[in-house]
Amino acid sequence: MRLRRTAVALLLAATAALGGATPATAHSGPSGPPAHFPTGTATGPDGRTALTDDQGRRLQLRGFNLDKYAEATEADLTSIAAQGFTLVRLPVSWTRLEPEHGRLDPAELHRIQQLLGWADHVGLLVLVDFHQDVYGPKFGGGSNGIPAWATRDDGLPFTPDPKDWFAGYFQPAVQAAFRHLYDDPDLRAWQADFYTRLARELRGHRSLLGYDLFNEPFGPVDGDPTDPAVLAAASAALEQGRLADMYRRLITAVRHVDSRAWLFVEPTVLVGQGVPTRLPGFTDPRPGAPRLGYAPHFYDTAVENGADWDQSDGFVEQYTAAISGYPVAHRLPVLVGEWGPPDSRTPGNTLLVRRQVAAMDGFTEGWTMWYWCRGTGGYCALDPTGRPAPGDGPAFGPYPAAVAGTGVRTTDGAVRWTADGTGRTSELVLPPAAFPRGARVTVSPADARVEVEQPTAGRAGTVRIRLPHTRPGTPVTVALTPR
């Protein structure tokens, strides 16, 4: 079995230098429209659980990952919001935040708080991602992941493979480090304490959506990792045992200090192979309704290893089938935390982006593409001029940000849903990349009250639809075509 590689060009430069920008305060008023913060959920007849706002409208959150080391600029966040996106996923590093046990680094904390302030100023929500790749820096991860002082490898060997960094997970030293992290009482307590202290520092930021509790979790594999059956069994054992216990600890750790934030759990990366997760359900100790979600990644192994996508491989269909059961069973909203090919310019990968956007419209309440940067490849969503990279156009398409209805779908240039009869206003986003000269808007039923704010070169537009006299169950169609 071919093992997935994540970003091959993660060191591409951000769009501007960090210095010189004036930070917005964490609680300053937004200059753009405020992001819709989800205050609850609603489960439809099909079992899909939507995020809802305080008006009961179904929300869609869309956006991009920022770089791994919180080195995005105010200009990056402004341009993301200007394209009509409402969410960024911010990878953070335990290593950088707590370089010494028991001391949070004030400069790193300031950087994250500064980003949250910038996000609030332009109306973005932020999902903080506790990121790791191959455990931590002791195994070649740079400044990413679990700190060296929390790494115990039993003196076992580690030999990196520069051609396949993901293979490092199966090295004896890395396997030992994960065992200790999951099993050792002091490491478990240190990790939980770190989450509590960081959550205490970040709580109260209006832009903070919540936390992705552990990026791409992995663990011990007893046996040959190239055997799909061995790997699937190891993944199931991890999800049902050690990883489930970790998530329970981390949920409790954050909830000690923050009852507002949403908390998302990730399955292992085998979901990308069409292997359903074996995670159990989780209990949210916050008062009121739970704020828990499911955040799988959406990567094709062959594409990650450099191939152009072959649509006959069944990847999209197998993935969709693999991720659907768990969130339905536990009534969790789905937010795809990472997706996108390393090079969207090739014919197969261009088609893959289109197929993934269409597929996610059917099962997720939001997504963050990997990732926001300029370049000529290497996962960059923008070309060197700042326009959508060739092939990534579907990710910059129109979408329903908040809808007073159910069964919301976007297909063939139209957004469709079934009205809930409340008469509340629905809002659709018109990104300037998709509508550079504006949009023609046609709405059915014909008596709908429609307000169109056309996009400009530097700001997304909005379509607002109100159906004050519509019965519940009435089909609604909003057709959108570029001028």
**371 with 405, same domain?**
no
Tell me, yes or no, whether 193 lies in a domain. Answer: yes
Euclidean distance between CA atoms 437 and 426, whole angstroms: 23
Q: Which of 373, 396, 419 is the last residue of a domain?
A: 396
**282 with 353, same domain?**
yes
**390 with 447, same domain?**
no
Q: Which of 368, 396, 424 is the last residue of a domain?
A: 396
Give the 3-state secondary structure of residue 294.
Answer: strand
Predicted pLDDT at 70:
67
SS (H, E, C) 192-226: HHHHHHHHHHHCCCCCEEEEECCCCCCCCCCCCCC
Best CA proximity match to 220, nearest among 243, 199, 249, 204 = 243
**381 with 456, same domain?**
no
Quick one: residue 347, left, alpha or beta (phi over 0 = left, psi -120 to 50 = alpha)?
Answer: alpha
**CATH of residue 290:** 3.20.20.80
Give the 3-state secondary structure of residue 144.
Answer: coil
> Which residues pair with residue 449 across a beta bridge?
466
Tell me, yes or no, whether 22 lies in a domain. Answer: no
Task: Give me the tens of pLDDT residue by residue for the chain, a chain 483 residues long.
Answer: 333 443 333 222 222 222 223 233 333 333 444 568 999 999 998 899 999 999 999 999 999 999 876 689 999 999 999 999 999 999 999 999 999 999 999 999 999 999 999 999 999 999 999 999 999 999 987 788 999 999 999 999 999 888 888 899 999 999 999 999 999 999 999 999 999 999 999 999 999 999 999 999 999 999 998 899 999 999 999 999 999 999 999 999 999 999 999 999 999 999 988 999 999 999 999 999 999 999 999 999 999 999 999 999 999 999 999 999 999 999 999 999 999 999 999 999 999 999 999 999 999 999 999 999 999 988 999 999 999 999 999 999 999 999 999 999 998 889 999 999 999 999 999 999 999 999 999 999 999 999 999 999 889 999 999 998 889 999 999 999 999
Quick one: DSSP state of residue 459? Answer: B
Euclidean distance between CA atoms 410 and 281, whole angstroms: 30
User: Which residues make Cβ contacts (< 8 Å) with residue 167, sequence separation at least 6?
Assistant: 3, 161
- What domain count does the chain have? 2
Euclidean distance between CA atoms 418 and 338, whole angstroms: 29
CB 372 within 8 A of CB 80: yes
Tell me, yes or no, whether 85 lies in a domain. Answer: yes
Strands (E), 299-393: 335-336, 338-339, 366-369
**467 with 441, same domain?**
yes
Best CA proximity match to 97, nearest among 153, 136, 152 = 136
Q: What is the value of pTM for the model shown?
A: 0.92
Tell me, yes or no, whether 222 lies in a domain. Answer: yes
Which residue matches tokens 């509340």?
424
User: Which residues make Cβ contacts (< 8 Å) with residue 53, sequence separation at least 6?
Assistant: 36, 37, 38, 39, 59, 402
Euclidean distance between CA atoms 296 and 3, whole angstroms: 17
**325 with 427, same domain?**
no
Q: Lay out the sheet containing 40-43: strands in order across.
A: 40-43, 49-52, 58-59, 399-403, 426-430, 461-466, 449-453
Q: Lay out the sheet containing 405-411: strands in order across.
A: 405-411, 414-419, 475-482, 439-444
Q: Which of 337, 367, 396 is the last residue of a domain?
A: 396
> Which residues pair with residue 294 across a beta bridge?
265, 334
**Cβ count near 414 (within 10 Å):** 15
Please provide the size of the chain in residues.
483
Which residue matches tokens 């993301």?
80
Tell me, yes or no, whether 12 lies in a domain. Answer: no
Tell me, yes or no, whether 210 lies in a domain. Answer: yes
**409 with 389, same domain?**
no
Tell me, yes or no, whether 7 lies in a domain. Answer: no
Give the 3-state secondary structure of residue 114.
Answer: helix
**391 with 434, same domain?**
no
Tell me, yes or no, whether 23 lies in a domain. Answer: no
**73 with 99, same domain?**
yes
Predicted pLDDT at 80:
97
**221 with 130, same domain?**
yes
**203 with 268, same domain?**
yes
How does strand 125-130 pair with strand 405-411? Answer: unpaired
CB 139 within 8 A of CB 168: yes
Domain containing 464: what range? 398-483
**352 with 459, same domain?**
no
